[in-house]
Structure 1
């Protein structure tokens, strides 16, 4: 059985000349491959450990499981789809509803585990029916609305949970991330979240020295506390296992988490299309495998208390810049991630991130997640003049973002993202079936224009950038790259 574990040496093992690429089943010398693997670690690092902190899960376990998930993914796709599986942002809104402030991580991971299994089953169906099944079930109008629901539902989390701890650190961190995203070029432009985290950490430490401890919000009992507390870092061991926990299951929690599956299907499909256009290989037969692999990885990670996973656009950006698509580099990155996960001292350092810093970062991230939904609409020319599109999406968005609740029984209610998604999905498909043929949107979701793979080219990634098939051809991978020079591979030497 071919697992994609054999790589042909590319030329003499040195970097490819301009216009040439190193294909997934090729590799450079092991020294250069190790260097590229380290670059992939840096690319995925910021979002992979920031999102577990935001969701109240163990960042050490998230890093370790991301490495194991990547290995599992590469084995299932037989080394044909080079991708790194980092922590998914798609479940952040569900975490805020199911386990606010990390109050019930077992219930959260149980809901994510079920969603992962549903994603895996979706991958099997897509593998059997073909990639067009993605578009039939989740046209761009629906996918964009669900992604928007996921992002904008998080606005109260920033306002109530993070920002009040230290508004000035939050404001300055937010400003840094915004400026860095626009001004930094190449590889640095893809790790602005990580840079913002470091900036906020240092700023909080300086504020402690200059102004003393920060006042705690009234809801936290008042008083004051230092912004940076590294006492737990000093007490932690250098080597040890992360904190595992078993999942717990509740129907209402599962319903809150399930809408994320739609976003995950779209982003996985989009990443496969992006890699296909960059490598020139036909990867459509592997799309179902990729979605199945991500679902299985998510369910396995959450089964031990880890974070959900997804393929990362940041790492696709590294490939676009370097023109090296070798899966050998991803195996190196995965092993490094597992080793990081076995360092409790590192985990405690991440957990010590000041709440004000998280406030500044999340106010940007959450908004970007929501606006990616609008990006899906724009790029697929969704026709909002058609009531089949306009009415169910309008109703679902207001119900989901506004917190409308539909009580089914005394202890069970549909609300938030779950209710909004049901209204959008059921309303769109019901109206599409009932309406006369002349009113039905084009298959691609646009204004009478059929795009064969529309809806599969726009992806959520980690929540901090997006890649379309057209962008990938030019090396455009994230919000940090602007201008034609970056899209044409700027930063290849970073």
Structure 2
């Protein structure tokens, strides 16, 4: 491949994929098929990417533009080795909403830029020294707690929108639930988008959609750009987001590596840097912060096509769509009831993803360190505890994230010093009783993870 990763070999005859084979990142199918798959990637990211600017009041077309540009930058920086789409990150919703109340949209954009800079710096460190230090700093119990509390902290916002139009919200939520369980493949993965569409038609029938701005918008034109302002008060809101973005990116790179049979550890840092740069660019122009998208990983798993050529098509197509103000205003007409129904599922799903991290990593809640870390962090995040120091205002997400880190490492250090924790940090179910007994005895003697 070239330095940009844009010299693709034709896979087989370019029309079919042999049984047991996949289209590798450096390969492509015939261009008509590649273009079709690329457009499918745009559809896959559509619902989730647009929900973030709609919920936060940011311009959808601008977000779409920087999503496309960010994807192309990601492909260049990772040298075409990591097929991925950069869409709007849900982790930014809570800090953007909170910072807007205090500093307006420009202040929120400044926070997005800050998060992007920190993420890029983390990526540079990972590229230089590897990612093992991240695993030590943020073990699964901490990462899961932070992801969970970010989603659950938003529960009141979901309820507020749901209450504005309960019938529409319920139609949206029920559709999401039914589509996710009744259909397989790409349609099942687009359940949120399907729910938004059905909810939108319900809102139209009930007269809840306002088209005045869309009617006044032109068909072709530039997206609405905004510049950031930087305030010290947003630091505590946006820094915890970086922890989530690191976990998402590293997890997605590992998923792609497993599916393609490639070792991508040497580009994990590049992936983080690329996402950081894309987020900085979005913040300077008025878009939402980005992250690698699981929705598009799902499309690759379904199609067996991991070609980065398809992502170049997706990025270019997203950029072209963003230059239609009428299209952007159409997306912005999604009413509160639809958002309430979708957010009920979406925010809960973010919370459950945190629990999934615990389950997948067999976190042992018989261990008092794990139990206390999760308990304290979740209550602080869900109840939205607030601590104000001068211009700095730390809300539930920041305080909950800090609590997860401080409680875990503080208790672990004290337990090691006193030798008081006997339970292992991960479940030992499935091991012979004698082995489990030996591990517990070793943990009791040393205070360390067996």
Same topology, TM > 0.5: yes
1:376 matches 2:392: no
Distance in 2 (alpha carbons) for counterparts of 1:415 and 1:393: 17
Q: Secondary structure of 2:91's match?
A: coil
8 Å CA contact 1:112, 1:254 repeated in 2: no
Which residue matches 2:413? 433
Q: Which one has a larger percent helix, Structure 1 or Structure 2?
A: 2
Which residue matches 2:12? 11
Which residue matches 2:128? 128
Which residue matches 1:469? none
Distance in 2 (alpha carbons) for counterparts of 1:115 and 1:368: 23
Distance in 1 (alpha carbons) for counterparts of 2:121 and 2:202: 46
**Cα distance, 1:81 vs structure 2:** 0.5
Between the two proteins, the alignment pairs up a number of residues equal to 426
TM-score, structure 1 normalization: 0.83
Which residue matches 2:109? 109
8 Å CA contact 2:119, 2:273 repeated in 1: yes
Once superposed, which parts of structure 1, at least 4 consecutive aligned residues long, lie more than 6 Å away?
none
Q: Secondary structure of 2:291's match?
A: strand
**Cα distance, 1:438 vs structure 2:** 7.0
Distance in 2 (alpha carbons) for counterparts of 1:167 and 1:229: 18
Q: 2:290 aligns with which of 309, 319, 328?
A: 309
Which residue matches 1:413? 393
Which residue matches 1:176? 175
Listed one character per residue, the Cα deviations across residues 12-58 of structure 1 (whole Å, up to 9, x for unaligned) are 21121221111101111111111111111111111111111111111
TM-score, structure 2 normalization: 0.91
1:295 matches 2:295: no
**Cα distance, 1:392 vs structure 2:** 3.0
**Cα distance, 1:441 vs structure 2:** 7.6
**Cα distance, 1:272 vs structure 2:** 0.7
Which residue matches 1:96? 97
Give the unaligned 5+ runs of structure 1.
Answer: 209-226, 450-494
8 Å CA contact 2:150, 2:381 repeated in 1: no
Which residue matches 2:80? 79
Change (3 A) 1:418 1:16: same
Give the unaligned 5+ runs of structure 2.
Answer: 430-450
Listed one character per residue, the Cα deviations across residues 289-311 of structure 1 (whole Å, up to 9, x for unaligned) are 11111111111111111111111
Change (3 A) 1:343 1:385: same
Listed one character per residue, the Cα deviations across residues 249-278 of structure 1 (whole Å, up to 9, x for unaligned) are 222212111111111111111111111111
8 Å CA contact 2:143, 2:244 repeated in 1: yes
User: Once structures 1 and 2 are overlaid, which stretch shifts more, 426-435 or 14-23?
Assistant: 426-435
8 Å CA contact 2:59, 2:328 repeated in 1: yes
Cα RMSD of the aligned pairs, angstroms, is: 1.7
Distance in 2 (alpha carbons) for counterparts of 1:268 and 1:198: 29
Which residue matches 2:439? none
8 Å CA contact 1:96, 1:154 repeated in 2: no
**Cα distance, 1:199 vs structure 2:** 0.6
